[in-house]
Chains A and B, each alone.
Chain A
Amino acid sequence: MKLSDLTNHAGEWLRGNGPMSEIVISSRIRLARNVNGLPFLSRATRAQRQSLEIRIRDTLLASNLSPQTLYVDLEAAPEIDRQLLVERHMISKQHAVAEGARGVAIGENENVAIMVNEEDHLRIQVLRSGLQLEEAWEQINALDDTLEAKLEWAFHPRFGYLTACPTNVGTGIRVSVMLHLPALKLTGEIEKVFRAAKDMRLAVRGLYGEGTEATGDFYQISNQTTLGKSEEEIISEFRHLVIPKIIDYEHHARRTLLNDRTVALDDKIGRALGVLRSARLMASEETLFLLSHLRMGVNLGRVKDVDIRTINELFLLTQPAHLQKLQGRKLEGDQRRAARADYIRTRLNAN
């Protein structure tokens, strides 16, 4: 498998076929792990960092993570490829722009992504479409066992899995659920969700995680506490308490819009579809905003001739690195906006 094979379709987890996919885009779990006996990366020498990368890479490739595992050497990869991987949520922004020996192993149609030499030696991630936290945990737990048998993790009976940053120590787990909440945004009730999340010590972030704004009405909710609570407790809280409540709120807001503000709702959806099907220059932020309204329209049955999978793919494939890969050349400013508008028109009018 090559990196370019990924470019023209979305990963398995973004196909929009998981449970609750009308609101839950994806479930993601990551585990932070460090190899026992070696310094964390900020204190590792160049040579240590390099030999660590080779050792982990060899272990990952020998572990049969999936029938086809793609390993990308990020130190050698061109900027556009690193950007592409950020857009696909396979690596963090920090990992893309960092320096030194580092990489990522991608398996199982992008359901698995393991970052090597990010903030910790390994950041194991499992992604799933819709709300599938238990399934993601089962998979990542087994993956962790497999790798641990070959690498041996830095672990302390009191502190748990030892991480470079003490905010991740303990389980080293981050559970994230990506939600699409356009109705709560339109009714102005989204602030209540933020406040409730904050009270529960959860972080609310944008589409691309840490340090990104919520665009296109996508919100990523994640745990911050990693010490003193078991993985199962954290996941269960999400699965049974936090996420169902937010889903209920969003459903309620969608019903309110549908019943009390039908024309205004249809107007928003119709405008979104109209612009997306006709515009000749599309900026990236406007695209996210309009696709969000269109997605809600499809989920509410107001738009019948577009499917969710197409919209989910458009969210991804209209991002800068993807557009440039699809076109096979570097695009600047208006060229890029024109290419984006063309691509959206083609996809939506073919539907």
Chain B
Amino acid sequence: MSYKCDNCSKPATVHLTEIKGGKKIEKHLCEQCAAQNEGLQVKGHTPINELLTNFVMTHSGLTKELTHACEHCGITWGEFRQHGLLGCQHDYELFEKDLTPLLQRAHEGATHHSGKVPIRNGTAAGAPAADSATTAIQPRKKKGPDVAKLKKELQKAVETEDYERAAELRDAIRQAEAQ
């Protein structure tokens, strides 16, 4: 039996059978449409295992993750895994989900920074607004109470979920900065 492509009228050379929610869906496509719509590359001499891998990857959503590129530096998760180096500061947020288990393995289970915070941190790496104590940091005032120290304490208080203390510190910092 010969089929015509579901999309155009060329002869179909790629035949897909998908089971979705118990329903069998058959697709018949020509090479171009298969490549465009299903991400399947059919080369004259593509080995069967590569074909299967491509198919499995496309349909499991894996290819998407591996080939999803950072809009700032262009790196994909797959490329990072090959070379071990990230391409720019934005990759930490972009790949957060995949990076977390790696970070945990490398850093004794830790996932959050503790320690020094830059004095001037207004435009730090895509910092989510109002999410952290550090995002509010303004350039250091020359006189008055040690704002940097208060902010460090505030960060600690937030980390330990001591919100009462955090609120006190927040007010103290506001007051100090208003001076």
Which A positions have Cβ atoms within 8 angstroms of B? 34, 36-40, 42-43, 119, 141, 144-145, 148-149, 152-162, 164-167, 169-171, 173, 201, 224-233
Instruction: Give the distance to chain B from A203, nearest Cβ to Cβ, in Å.
Output: 12
Whether B83 sits at the interface, judged by CB under 8 Å, is: yes
Whether B160 sits at the interface, judged by CB under 8 Å, is: no
Contact A36 B110 (CB under 8 A): no
Which B residues lie within 8 Å of A144 (CB)? 116
CA distance A144 to B115 in the complex (A): 14
Secondary structure of the B contact surface, majority rule: loop
CA distance A10 to B99 in the complex (A): 42
Which B residues lie within 8 Å of A43 (CB)? 73-75, 87-88
Which A residues lie within 8 Å of B111 (CB)? 158, 227-228
Instruction: Give the distance to chain B from A93, nearest Cβ to Cβ, in Å.
Output: 17
Q: How many of chain B's residues touch chain A, expressed as a range?
A: 35 or more
**Which residue of B107, B121, B131, B132 is within 8 Å of A170 (Cβ)?**
B107
Whether B125 sits at the interface, judged by CB under 8 Å, is: yes
Contact A228 B84 (CB under 8 A): no
Which B residues lie within 8 Å of A229 (CB)? 110, 114-115
The 7 closest A-B pairs by CB, nearest first: A228-B110, A160-B113, A157-B132, A230-B115, A43-B87, A227-B107, A154-B89
CA distance A121 to B99 in the complex (A): 21
- Nearest B residue to A154, CB-CB: B89
CA distance A37 to B75 in the complex (A): 16
Whether B8 sits at the interface, judged by CB under 8 Å, is: no
CA distance A141 to B111 in the complex (A): 23
CA distance A230 to B113 in the complex (A): 8
Contact A39 B73 (CB under 8 A): yes
Which A residues lie within 8 Å of B103 (CB)? 166, 169, 227
